[in-house]
Structure 1
């Protein structure tokens, strides 16, 4: 709680520092984004927190969409909304490009406590989908090694089970939305609570592949239309 309060109190100063550094160009992005490292780790590597995701290596278009969504209040988390409230599109794009280019190693991860049945169910859903309910394999959008696909599909590897579960739940219940057509809402609403737990457990158990880069644009034929694409010329 003390760390959280310290972060909240620091946000107005951090936001001013970010904006001023962007204007005068005196600091590199490592220095400009120190405020982000407290939650997301140096270079966006991630931390031991279940609820602050790894940013490093995700496609810049995806990261830009999320930054704009937090700034404009379409995605809600008070510290992020507050920190980004007055940041211009060009600076958010620089932030996205910085994190997309980073390749730090994963922080140490504890072994999963999920049982074999849960992991097997998760592997089946992630790699094969569920044709009976219209759920496609995760890899059909997020890439064969789950590192995402340019320009706007995020990587899933390196995320913790509780974070994955929370985001799927948010899509299921409409508290997190994406640009229409919202393909993740469609998919997540076809998953049961047990499905979500299994998918999260299996994905979070995966090691980072030797090449963590997202797949090239068009590498995968996406099974349904998704509106979450990089913004062109603003928002």
Structure 2
């Protein structure tokens, strides 16, 4: 029997964990990859292959792949325009949610923590080509990745802005912002924004720009 030779067929191995067509899986760990900016997806694939991120099944899957092929995979998933499921209500107090909202929308200038919205867009749907959206992602995944940056087990190209931010967050901060983001509904258009209204608040590797400061 002939097998369809298409990128959709080739990346079926990805959807075994990330869900059908790249939607987030229900276990709270694997993130949605459908519709994420292509530059972001490519950077994450390269990070797994090159040792900046550590998850053995991912590394084994993409270790032999070239940069060009990783870009093809990233472009495929970035091109998918699929509906998001409704968010699950947060099972925490209003005080915790208020703390998460403050960090997401305003940051904490006294601790040099920028708002999530300053980099990921005012609607938290990401910015092309390199900045991912933060909505439609399970709370456990958001908290887990912030923890990985905080511990140093997840890294990005220098300057690693997310590591710097995560290390300034307390455990309560991580819990609050993870709960708040995971509970937010998607806007009518969940596609990444074309550009940010202002420069990034700090240098951030892999984004195509140096930001306002190192």
**1:124 and 2:75 are equivalent in the alignment:** no
2:192 is paired with a residue of what secondary structure? coil
Higher helix share: 1
194-203 or 107-116: bigger deviation: 107-116
CA distance in 1, matches of 2:68, 2:139: 33
Residue 205 of structure 2 corresponds to 227
Residue 136 of structure 1 corresponds to 114
Residue 58 of structure 2 corresponds to 80
Go from structure 1 to structure 2 and tell me whether the alpha carbon gap of 1:109 and 1:47 turns closer, same or farther (over 3 Å shift). Answer: farther
Q: State the 1:92 CA deviation.
A: 0.6
Residue 211 of structure 2 corresponds to none
**1:145 and 2:128 are equivalent in the alignment:** no
Q: State the 1:212 CA deviation.
A: 1.2
2:168 is paired with a residue of what secondary structure? coil
TM-score (norm 2): 0.91
User: What residue ranges of structure 2 are gaps of 5+ in the alignment?
Assistant: 209-214
CA distance in 1, matches of 2:176, 2:24: 22
Root-mean-square deviation (CA), in Å?
1.5
Aligned equivalent of 2:42, options 61, 64, 67: 64
1:194 is paired with a residue of what secondary structure? helix
Residue 134 of structure 2 corresponds to 156
Go from structure 1 to structure 2 and tell me whether the alpha carbon gap of 1:45 and 1:173 turns closer, same or farther (over 3 Å shift). Answer: same
2:8 is paired with a residue of what secondary structure? helix
Aligned equivalent of 1:174, options 120, 129, 152: 152
Residue 13 of structure 2 corresponds to 35
CA distance in 1, matches of 2:103, 2:87: 23
**1:191 and 2:169 are equivalent in the alignment:** yes
TM-score (norm 1): 0.83
Residue 10 of structure 1 corresponds to none
